Chains A and B, each alone.
Chain A
């Protein structure tokens, strides 16, 4: 009997020690079936990140990663609700612009003193990336990229309009010149000059913001909204002149604008770095539509260069660090693994955050990479605010009202100004 009990105890202990430490992981980027564990072969954000996660799960001993649903639309609502309910995922992805909202109340673990121990070297991060994950001089996340708006160009349409020089597209340097280029494209090809999602996600907002920043202005400073200004009107009219002349269609949403570009119905698509590898793959296919693809920095139409930019980063909730050291240590290993695979993530088209990766030959050899090297220098965003999401929504609502419903610019800017001021006052 004694042997039986001892044997059973030994077996139980063995079984317990073999149970892997489970880490729950929250992310957006969408779903990827069968991402596999080959981090160097996957294509597109969803599959690249999932292949990195799968590889971490397979390669790190004693670790099992449970990836939670990966829906984009309600991601932050779910994360906020999970924090409020006391059940946030052990690690989760987020944007730099959300850091104030979470770090402000101490929701994110302070990683500053634990990174080196986990094999993460913050001194290898680019200054902009380090700044993105720093709140009150403490590091609260591991940056994964800097992403920004680019001009994705159909070179065949530009060539037909005579807008190619030395193998690169000729981009406008003023709103007037943009209108002229747009007319040239339409006369030569019958297609639109510019497409973007002006009807769904805030991509139109990001275009307008870039044009506002290019004039040295912003939408708020401190606690004061500065939307109802001459600079905002200039930015808006630079965009709406294309709609009014029938050279761009404001009613396309994200999927439709992308499809228009891939079908060869627009010379330029304004979208982020996240689609470079996807569009390059589409252009390489032997079919109708986009065949000759070029990526350009967002052009400077006013005084100074600027394009909207943000960062993806990984964070660990503070309760994990405070209450569960084992899970915290394992979660840090996951972040280290993701940090080690920065080059794989950069294949999406995003800009890497590690200096060692940025300087590598492998990075320089990524498709189209040399075409948008100027973007890192003009990357911008609005000032940090705990109300970032609501402010973006307010702007998106009012700008869409201008180009989709014919609301007057004066009324829309007055409403946007008072809505954003209300948000800043709360």
Chain B
């Protein structure tokens, strides 16, 4: 081919990639990377939100003191059975991952990741204030515990419900298409609308649930202010709200499964629930991992449900980490302390992201 004079600028593949990536990287750096490091920087300061706005010199470098004030206490000791339930589960997890690896049921990396997480569950709850000691912030670790409990209830709740719905609604009839849309609709609502709907549902005076209970002769449960039901009520609202995306992911996963498998299964008399158990479920493994990890990361950031439905109560039973960070930063103006908690939350979510990355890679091998 004849070359034009004053040849056009020819880009190598790498240069083209760099130019095309530049807009994204710029936005990523300005709006995500920079604020992240600024957050870490703020967490090392005594930084009053309002005072610093009026006088930039009102902040003071305090090193790791915010982390200490939030996470540590005076005279903290460690005991193997300080928190038996958690530590037993942790220990059992370590043994289980070793056994899974030895019997070849889990790969090296998976076993290591699981074992590591289980070990943390054994070690961390072991810390407690000794004789005459106390946590500097007695609400932080219970708040972390509430957040983990919320994730522990919401993630299986969403995953199982969404999977069953997806299996039931997979098909080409018009009714199924309508139902799929209906079940997805709740996902598009904002958290304010969702919590408003559920506050009315749970109201002991005018709520649908109270009316149903009374219809069957029971006395209505005061969901949002009863200690045993408050967490359950925000979990129920969350499951209803975040079902949609998980259901769509499962539907996509189910539609990926070859029809031949079901035909072959049907010849061996595996239909309905049997087909779901022996064909659908094993083939959905990757989707399940994806949904579970996405949900874990999402639900660790729970805020609106607790803030708007229960105000974190009663007795702090629904106080969650992001709400605590929010109150510390905006109600109390203690930005440094709040940033330290946010960095802690980042570490937890980072851990789960790495876990997903590791599990995803191993499947590819």
Contacts and interface: CB of A to CB of B under 8 A. Distances in A.
A303 B163 CA distance: 64
Interface string B251-286: 000000000000000000000000000000000000
Interface string B316-357: 110000000011001111100000000000000000000000
A407 B49 CA distance: 34
Given A80-B50, A390-B332, A400-B314, A418 B138 contact: yes
B332 A387 contact: yes
Nearest to A198: B225
Contacts of B224: 199, 253
A80 B225 contact: no
B54 A251 contact: no
A11 interface: no
Nearest to B52: A84
B53 A256 contact: no
Given A84-B49, A102-B50, A405-B227, A77 B326 contact: yes
A336 interface: no
Contacts of A426: 334
B331 A256 contact: no
Nearest to B337: A426
| Residue from B48, B49, B205 with most neighbouring chain A CB atoms (10 Å) | B205
A131 B275 CA distance: 76
| Residue from B315, B330, B331 with most neighbouring chain A CB atoms (10 Å) | B315
Given A83-B50, A253-B224, A397 B313 contact: yes
| Residue from A106, A107, A397 with most neighbouring chain B CB atoms (10 Å) | A397
A426 B331 CA distance: 14
Interface string A59-99: 00000000000000100110011011110000000000000
A216 to B, nearest CB: 29
B60 interface: no
B222 A251 contact: yes
Nearest to A102: B50
B313 A400 contact: yes
A81 B331 CA distance: 10
A393 interface: yes
Contacts of B205: 256, 259-260
Interface in A341-375: none
B325 to A, nearest CB: 12
B365 interface: no
B204 interface: yes
A200 B53 CA distance: 32
Contact of B331 (A76, A400, A401): A76
Contacts of B51: 105
- Chain A residues touching B, range: 35 or more
A6 to B, nearest CB: 46
Contacts of A83: 50, 53-54
A404 B227 contact: yes
Contacts of A390: 327, 331-332
A401 B313 CA distance: 8
Given A107-B54, A251-B222, A389 B331 contact: yes
B226 A251 contact: yes
A415 B137 CA distance: 11
B245 to A, nearest CB: 27
Nearest to B326: A77
A387 B224 CA distance: 27
B315 to A, nearest CB: 4
A388 to B, nearest CB: 10
B54 to A, nearest CB: 5
Contacts of A22: none
A419 interface: yes
Nearest to A387: B332
B203 A199 contact: no
Contacts of A86: 53
A77 B226 CA distance: 27
A77 B137 CA distance: 22
Nearest to B312: A397
Contacts of B55: 105
Contacts of B334: 426
Nearest to A318: B54
Contacts of B50: 80, 83-84, 101-102, 105, 107
Contacts of A418: 134, 138
Contacts of A107: 50, 54
B315 A405 contact: yes
B311 interface: yes
A85 B53 CA distance: 7
B66 to A, nearest CB: 12
B315 A400 contact: yes
A105 B333 CA distance: 12
Contacts of B222: 199, 251
A422 B139 CA distance: 12
Contacts of B333: 80, 101
Interface string B25-64: 0000000000000000000000011111111001000000
Interface string B149-167: 0000000000000000000
A397 B316 contact: yes
Contacts of A259: 205-206
Contacts of B53: 83-86
Contacts of A77: 326, 330-331
B315 A80 contact: no
Contacts of B326: 77
Nearest to A401: B315
A340 B48 CA distance: 37
A101 B333 CA distance: 10
A255 B332 CA distance: 27
| Residue from B55, B227, B308, B334 with most neighbouring chain A CB atoms (10 Å) | B227
Contact of B315 (A81, A200, A393, A404): A404
Contacts of A200: 225, 311
Contacts of B134: 418
Nearest to B49: A84
16 contacts: A76-B331, A80-B49, A81-B330, A83-B53, A84-B53, A86-B53, A105-B50, A107-B54, A199-B314, A251-B204, A251-B226, A253-B225, A390-B327, A397-B313, A401-B316, A406-B227
Interface of A: 73, 76-77, 80-81, 83-86, 101-102, 105-107, 199-200, 251, 253, 255-256, 259-260, 387, 389-390, 393, 397, 400-401, 404-407, 415, 418-419, 422, 426
Given A83-B50, A101-B50, A390-B331, 8 more contacts: A77-B326, A84-B53, A199-B225, A251-B222, A251-B225, A393-B327, A405-B227, A418-B138
A-B pairs, top 10 by smallest CB distance, nearest first, are A401-B315, A77-B330, A404-B314, A405-B227, A199-B225, A84-B53, A251-B222, A405-B315, A84-B49, A105-B51
